[in-house]
Amino acid sequence: MDEIKIEICCGSAGDVLAAAGAGADRVELNSALFLGGLTPSLGALELARTAQVELMAMVRPREGGFCYTQEEFCTMLLDARRLLDAGADGIVFGFLHEDGTVDVRRCQAMLEVIGTRQSVFSRAIDVVPDWRAGLEALCALGVTRVLTSGQAPTAPEGADTIRAMREYAAGRIEILPGCGVRLNNAAWLLERTGCRQLHASLKTARLDRSATHNPCVHFSGGACPPEEEYPATDAGAVRRLAALAALARE
């Protein structure tokens, strides 16, 4: 049976080390996961690179959409070069026009930076007006993989569309289901979509109360997570998901 790959979404080097130690096949390193994932620091990438795991690096300069200013676009190309030089196995990115269609020109520029390493189009695909046209553009560009929830809030909800994407792609690009992947739905999602890889963010809460001693001072907005709490990879959950994937391989 074909290999099943488990990719874990990580928000720090510590998350990567935990995920790798628990049996993840691949990781996606970000910062600011509560904003949907932004570009990680070089220091985080270099420490994460000490783990024996396939390492993708997110390149996204800000929250919000995927139609960037020229300065943001240039920043992304520079960040991608530095992250690859520091040992990333691939880059995760997304470029859209204001109308939501894939920005082929900017994708091509990023692919030239990535070269022979892996290229992953982010969940920007989930907001394009016509996913078939979007996939066709990415296939023509030679993108390695696309991360998607099937244009639904979660991958389980978009499972039928993910399956349709896989069938439409016909092996020209990998389809990676992600968002809302849990231990209790992973096996079903693999079967329903026919995909052989999953992207999961398996988190546990950790406490840091050092910034809570002066109630007059706050470092984050009201929409941000509580200042005394931050997410970290749940190694136990990763280990159980990896074991589930191992059973499915048999």
Q: β-pairing, 5-10 with 26-29? A: parallel
Domains and CATH numbers, the chain: 5-249 (3.20.20.380)
Report pLDDT digits (tens) over 153-175. 999 999 999 999 999 999 999 99
Residue among 178, 182, 176 at smallest CA distance from 237: 182
pLDDT at residue 188 tops 90: yes
Helix (H, G, I), strand (E, B) or coil at 61: coil
Helix (H, G, I), strand (E, B) or coil at 176: strand
* pLDDT at residue number 229: 75
pLDDT at residue 86 tops 80: yes
CB atoms within 10 A of CB 137: 17
pLDDT at residue 33 tops 70: yes
Using the Cα atoms of residue 170, residue 172, residue 178 and residue 184 in order, give the sign of their dihedral.
Answer: positive
